Structure 1
Amino acid sequence: MLEDLCKWSSDTDSDRAVYWLHGPAGAGKSAIAQSFCAKLEAQNRLAASFFFKRGHPSRGNGNRLFPTVASQLALCQPELTTTISRIVEGDPSLIHRALSVQLQKLIIAPCRQTFVGRILIIVIDGLDECDGKEIQCEILRSIGTAVHQGPLPLRFFVTSRPESRIREVFTGALQGVHFGINIEQSFIDVEKYLLDEFARIHREHHETMAAIPFPWPVPQVVKSLVQKSSGYFIYASTVIKFVDDKDFRPTERLKVIIMGTREANDKSPFVALDLLYTQILSQIPARQQLLRILTILTAKLDLSIGRIEQLLGLEPGDVRLILRGMQSLVGAADPFPDDIVLRNRLGNLDDWSSGSRIYVHHASFYDFLQDPRRAGIFHTDCDSCKTDLSRCILQTLSDESTTTKADHLVW
């Protein structure tokens, strides 16, 4: 798929200026987008990237898309720096105008006025994660209008779930100028990934795996995991993150997974994934405190670890201790990486200091926690959890001994 993307991005004769990669949650759309960004960046052909994230103050806001793209163009493409800067200086109100105007004035016009000498790609990942259904369609319609106006040294790579409203725009405003590709479920790729990662774990965990014969695990176990994945990488990658935890023996962690997968008889990929999530959460002993922390995460309060501990009346370091063993589902970083590509470039962040923020590895975990049928006892979007969180917030606001007036503004 990456080979096809590279061919499309460099084909000067193609009239398909938009490439839409669609598929269900966990199919690997964002992983492909990140890999594609890395390839384009190495060739100096990445115009900009924007990874939407539902509920995030900046990455969930569709109005931030085109100004962010223009900013990245000005910073990373020297040929466009002066042109874009002059346009913004001449009319600073552009960043508050309609999306179609933003795209035309901040991005399309500079690219048409300036000789770039190569095709630049704008990557927009997770369009369905953009807050507001209408603004999702408006973004696509704006791109469609720009593309239909004539040749551009720009192309747009868009990923999303195959929502009906998004599909309708592609078959309407973007008809004839886009490729629509469904990311296929790939059992073969998942098997290759699992075999490679298990070999790496066996090699890197040399102290605890020295007496375990290789290849590990046995083929029957790998085959079972591949079947349970239903071809989706989110299941496989979560299994690997769980088994690869340096604080535990890989053999024991894998045994936990195997015991859980025996219960998954439904053909839906969510059943196996939900059992995996439940199995991981069930290993956490501090169940009540875990639910309170997960409630804060699903409420999208964007609090630092120190603030969470203060809010819940915990001691410093308690959040890390409570979430120990959950590195396959969550991580922490300071400063919190606002861009997924930047996060990957910086490496695997694992900073659980007081000022860090907790981030969830995949949006499907949020979906799980907020659905009572899927999460069961770990459902966090219930009245009792929200009432408890509200009580904690009111208690913190009223506690003048621990919260100053300046802090009240933050809360």
Structure 2
Amino acid sequence: DLPVTHILLTSRSEEHIRKAMQTEEMRTLVCEIPVRTSGEGVAATISLDGADVDNDIHIFLQHSFTELQSRHPDFPRPSTDQLARLASRAGRRFIVASTMMKFIDDRHNDPRDRLQLMLELTSELLPGTEVYKLYDQILSTCTEPTLAYLHLSVVCALVDPLPMSQISKLLGPSQGRDVERVLVQLRSVIEIPTDSSCPVYISHSSVRDYVSHRSNCSLRQDTTSPHSLLALS
């Protein structure tokens, strides 16, 4: 009989997973499978915290800007240095690189201006905070950043996603004002369907993490809790 085999795939090398694999009772049961990354017969393990990711993000950015240029022929191709700076600011996290490109290429603003905003982001950030600083930057470009943060918090707090029209009704005439106008400015962090009867939802769980603790956001915030708003609605 063939032995029972379990394959564990993770998106990152979490410390508690590594420690569990290294215990005495697990060590003899675990086999690390190397992945060929270059050259015939050359095997290596892909590291999610190393140069493999840097290179993949660089390729992703190159491809994304090529697509952008196909729609905006007048958009100047970023230099090698600019691509390297953007890749560095991603902090080896694809969600950061992907969100940056959604922000730059949102099809409603000048991508040249938005590229410049992304290049101004500092690369000297604590690990894991890169995406929060990016969200700060995105919110700061909204007409009313405080209201944008509140509405984004409400979207994240909903157990079941709702269309923008229902979110507006739920919040009432005071807090629910301009929900659609505000949320469309956050296209890079929330998914807005073309069908207005469909619900809006966050593009990544890190958005919920961002609004779950006020300390994650460095912008001025409304003191009203989204849960309080929903409870009173």
What TM-score bracket applies, with the shorter chain setting the length?
0.7 to 0.9
2:217 — aligned with what? 375
Given the alignment of the two structures, is residue 18 of structure 1 paired with residue 18 of structure 2, yes or no? no
Amino acid of the structure 2 residue aligned with 1:375: C
> Aligned equivalents of 1:248 and 1:280: distance in 2?
13
Return the TM-score normalized by structure 2: 0.76
The equivalent position to 2:170 in structure 1, one of 307, 311, 331, is: 311
Please say if residues 190 and 236 of structure 1, whose CA atoms lie closer than 8 Å, have aligned partners that are also in contact: yes
The offset of 1:289, in angstroms, is 2.9
Given the alignment of the two structures, is residue 199 of structure 1 paired with residue 66 of structure 2, yes or no? yes
Unpaired runs of 5+ residues, structure 1, are: 1-12, 25-160, 333-349, 397-411
Looking at CA atoms only, which structure, 1 or 2, has the larger radius of gyration?
1
Cα 1:289–1:230 shift into 2, 3 Å = closer
Cα 1:359–1:375 shift into 2, 3 Å = same
Q: Secondary structure at the match of 2:8?
A: strand
The offset of 1:272, in angstroms, is 3.0
2:188 — aligned with what? 328
Percent same amino acid at aligned positions? 23
The offset of 1:331, in angstroms, is 0.6
Q: Secondary structure at the match of 2:188?
A: coil
Q: RMSD over aligned Cα, in angstroms?
A: 3.3
Unpaired runs of 5+ residues, structure 2, are: 34-44
Amino acid of the structure 1 residue aligned with 2:29: G
User: Structure 1 or 2: larger helix share?
Assistant: 1
2:14 — aligned with what? 162
Please say if residues 245 and 327 of structure 1, whose CA atoms lie closer than 8 Å, have aligned partners that are also in contact: yes
> Aligned equivalents of 1:356 and 1:174: distance in 2?
48
Question: Counterparts of 1:23-172 in structure 2 under 5 Å?
Answer: 23-24=11-12, 162=14, 164=16, 168=20
User: Structure 1 or 2: larger strand share?
Assistant: 1
> Aligned equivalents of 2:100 and 2:220: distance in 1?
19
> Aligned equivalents of 2:154 and 2:66: distance in 1?
37
Return the TM-score normalized by structure 1: 0.46
The equivalent position to 1:176 in structure 2, one of 17, 24, 29, is: 29
Residue-by-residue CA offset, 1:170-226 (whole Å, 9 max, x unaligned)? 9557962665887523111111111111111111234xxx2x44xx11111111111
Amino acid of the structure 1 residue aligned with 2:154: I
Please say if residues 86 and 118 of structure 2, whose CA atoms lie closer than 8 Å, have aligned partners that are also in contact: no
Q: Secondary structure at the match of 2:147?
A: helix
Please say if residues 99 and 189 of structure 2, whose CA atoms lie closer than 8 Å, have aligned partners that are also in contact: yes
Residue-by-residue CA offset, 1:98-147 (whole Å, 9 max, x unaligned)? xxxxxxxxxxxxxxxxxxxxxxxxxxxxxxxxxxxxxxxxxxxxxxxxxx
Q: Secondary structure at the match of 1:357?
A: coil
